[in-house]
Amino acid sequence: MQIELTDQPIDVAAVLASVQDDGAGAVNTFIGTVRNQSTGRRVVRLDYEAYDSMALKQMRRVAEQAQEKWPMLRQIAVTHRKGRLEIGDVAVVVAVSTPHRADSFAACQYIIDTIKEVVPIWKKEEYEDGSVWVAAHP
């Protein structure tokens, strides 16, 4: 299990390599990237802020929950970026390996979906004419 939070560009190939496992017939990866628009506004860049110690603890817990739900999981890696990101940058990578593909899809989706719900990381969208903390207000 490899859990990381970094202010440097994520090396996707290195994350993938970390879940390589001779007992796995499937590797599934989710890569979250910065897109150029949000609710119709043109996004210039994103700023991610994290509560580092809690974010790492919660990401690890999500991975442990996935391991309990899918005991056949061989390897799990989660890397989340923080700081300033430009359009196209990789914000998060989740990679898992399992013996068969169906479990790898399910576990990977569970991990990214749960991370988005519980991990204390905040995204501020910067527009040409202002900025907004995403999801802060109804």
Q: Is 53 in the site for another protein (CB under 8 A)?
A: yes
Q: Is 48 in the site for another protein (CB under 8 A)?
A: yes
Q: Is 58 in the site for another protein (CB under 8 A)?
A: yes
What minimum distance in Å lies between the beta carbon of 58 and another protein? Answer: 8
Structure tokens at 46: 């994103």
By CB under 8 A, which span of 10-18, 20-28, 97-105, 111-119 interacts with another protein? 111-119
What's the N-to-C CA distance of the chain in angstroms? 36
What string marks each residue from 77 to 106 as x (binds another protein by CB under 8 A) or -?
A: ---x----------xx--------------
Which single residue is written with the structure tokens 């994520």? 10
Is residue 39 packed enough to be buried (19+ CB in 10 Å), middle (13-18) or exposed (0-12)?
Answer: exposed
By CB under 8 A, which span of 6-14, 17-25, 64-72, 116-124 interacts with another protein? 116-124
How many other C-beta atoms lie within 10 A of the C-beta of residue 22?
A: 6
- Concatenate the DSSP letters of all residues of 52-71 into one string: HHHHHHHHHHHHHHHHHH-T
| Contacting positions for another protein (CB under 8 A) | 32, 48-51, 53-55, 57-58, 80, 91-92, 112, 115-124, 133-138
